[in-house]
A and B are shown apart, each in its own frame.
Chain A
Amino acid sequence: MTHEATQITSPTKPSEILLHLGPQHPLQPGPFLLDLKIEGETIREAELKIGYIHKGMEKVFEDRTYLQILPLTDRICYLASNSNNDVYCRGVEELLGIEPTERAKYLRVLTNELCRLQSHLLGIGEYATDVGFLTMFIYMVREREGVVSLLEAITGSRLNHNYARFGGVANDLPPGYKEMALKTLGELKKQVKSHDEMLSSDSIYLRRTKGVGVLTAKEAGELGVAGPPLRAAGVEYDLRRMEPYLVYDDLDFKVITQTDGDVFSRVKVRLLEILESIYIIEQCLDQMPSGPYKQDVTPYITRPKPGEVYARIEDPRGEMGMYIISDGSDKPYRFRIRGPAFATAQALPPLLVGGYVADVAAIAASMDSCTSEVDR
């Protein structure tokens, strides 16, 4: 397996076909072009071409004030909007030298975990459709509705939450939230356990996923893949544990790992992480201290001292990092996003080579990449 960007060669034998999957194809969450050279049903070469929805976000950010950037970070990937808000705010807070209040830290962890829940649920659902299991998709979306409603009750919106603020969060929990959340999450826990059982026992599903698209720990490391695909390969790499931010130090949770690194393990990791996230949320709701949810003075015009910062977070998809250089003005001098989906996307072509056309959908969906974030 080579890690250089492979250029696909044109077919030489009459039995070979060049198949363009995309830029519009039912398998894709967003536009990208996957060129496959296939012989019969076997993939000989694969090349991924991205950039169809490049939005120039990093450059746009350099032309906005710090507060104006905040809602735009939602749009990097709508499924991880809360994590993106949070990591950006932590970066700016570090530049400003302020800390969020204790309650705000808990609220951010709470919303981050809810964000992970809904991202994983949709990720598994999309993946299930890609192996022809439409029913599982509908079930997952049904389960996700409850989680999204929980997020909506806190943040006021269902997709682009824009919740974190410098030194705090936008608003406090609504009254009666704890009961509502525990009820929904209890139901979700039961459902996810039953779905896990269903997926682990279905023989067709096992045949489709076991030993397919194996990404070893070494390859994942070389390609910069983090998050569920790396943990599925057996590496206990989780920023929440390795570099505990916010209040993850005070919370009890396991880092979910599997050993095989195949499609099945990646989905299994997500399923188990859902249960783990529910556990974290329950602890947050129990331990959350009272007090202000934001700093007394929220700075509207932010002029951090010159300096640079790299903040990172365990995104639902892996490691999300933001690198901000401040020159003392109200706009960042340089802004760089290190997205998890970009790494998982570039790991895709080598995984496909040697496999079947039918596996493309399963492997691509199990990596749970996000075109919006890849192109940003």
Chain B
Amino acid sequence: MAIIEIYDLIMHYLVIIFATNDFAPWIRGVLGGLVIGAVFGGALVMVYLERKFLGDMQSRIGPNRVGGRFGVLQLIADAIKLFTKEDIIPAKADKWLFIGAPIVALTSGFLMVAVIPFDLLVIKGNEYAVAVSRMDISILYLEAVSGLAIFATFMAGWGSSSKYAVLAAFRNVAKMIGYEIPLGITVISVAVMAHSLDIVEIVEAQSSIWFIIAQPLGFVVFFIALLADVGRIPFDQTEAEEELVAGWATEYSGMRWGLAFFAEYLHAVVGSFIVTLIFLGGWNGLPIVGNLYIPGIFWVIAKTIMVMMLFIWIRAALPRYRIDQVIDIGWKVLIPLALLNLVWSTIIGLLWA
């Protein structure tokens, strides 16, 4: 219990600092840095988990040399390798687009992190969300910012002046147009049911019943659209190795490629957070633990890791769709289902209110 008490103490002080708001700018900056660091770490954890669990599922061992039996330092070794590699910019590339693309991709990921709440603390009757920033429209903000990632892929695809890259960029844009719509509609359904666009409110609305139970169809549509959005199997056509070499990152090398790769995982991690928050009840714990007090942040992280594992599991279990089939599914299946779910959630939401 000691750890939990320490955690509570730290959180209380942080919240007091927040609440007084006197030295807010730099403290907020520090806290923002901490959260970004934590999510950065989360992406690293996902890369490691992916290697290890994918290995297990495919009856391989996975990383097992660097840093002991479990290869925990493999990522550091890879990072050193990427940093020491030659940074090649193709002669015919559009230099600024080429350089800018990974930066835009990462920026979009980090901007999303800003509004992700990890917990909600109630101190002296006041509510404080543990987040870098709490917005009234945070769910819409997330949608908008996640759409920025598409610029990164298109900048990279166009700027590389490579046919593979530009084909991948075309695919990505086509896919994104088809899948942002069901994603958006499902998010609206969630907002309708929670009567709020604020993620904190949405999570609080799930204190009695999680939205995965209230609108299972919405969860399925959102999850599939999210898979397509972050470009993981079975929707990883944009980097289908056997067709387009490395997709839009074909011409990248060294750490620039590393950034592009990392941005994808960052999006996957943030995507897992969003699923956790808007469908899996966020920091609302399971009733099975009884009276034992478990901090909300623990639930958020545990559920997020579960969602990540689901991503990895799906990757191990499924082959890849063809791009025309992906577009078909987006427009002909997911959008009607998302609309149906919107109707459903509106009715339920009204009854609930």
Contact = CB atoms under 8 A, between A and B. Distances in A.
Contacts of A357: 167, 243-244
Contacts of A132: 233-234, 236, 240, 242, 318-320
Interface string B47-77: 0000000000111100000000000000000
A121 interface: no
A135 B318 CA distance: 8
Chain A binding surface SS class:
helix
Contacts, number: 78
B167 A133 contact: no
Interface in B234-261: 234, 236-237, 240-245
B242 A26 contact: yes
Nearest to B59: A142
Contact of B318 (A129, A133, A359): A133
A138 B58 contact: yes
Interface in B295-353: 316-325
Q: Which of B60, B170, B243, B245 has its CB near the most chain A CB atoms (within 10 A)?
A: B243
Contact of B241 (A26, A133, A205): A26
B227 to A, nearest CB: 12
A202 B240 contact: no
Contact of B242 (A19, A205, A361): A361
B316 A135 contact: yes
A359 B242 CA distance: 10
A46 to B, nearest CB: 14
Chain B binding surface SS class:
helix
B163 interface: yes
A208 B322 contact: yes
A130 B58 contact: no
Contacts of A130: 242
A358 B60 contact: no
A192 interface: no
B221 to A, nearest CB: 17
A129 B170 CA distance: 23
A135 B245 contact: no
Interface in B146-174: 163-164, 167, 170-171
Contact of A138 (B59, B164, B171, B321): B59
A41 interface: yes
B171 to A, nearest CB: 8
Given A135-B58, A138-B59, A139-B58, A25 B319 contact: no
Contacts of B318: 132-133, 202, 204
Contacts of A204: 234, 318-321
Contacts of B241: 26
Interface of A: 17, 19, 25-27, 40-41, 128-136, 138-139, 142, 202, 204-205, 207-208, 356-361, 365
10 contacts: A19-B164, A26-B242, A132-B233, A133-B319, A135-B57, A138-B58, A138-B60, A356-B324, A361-B242, A365-B242
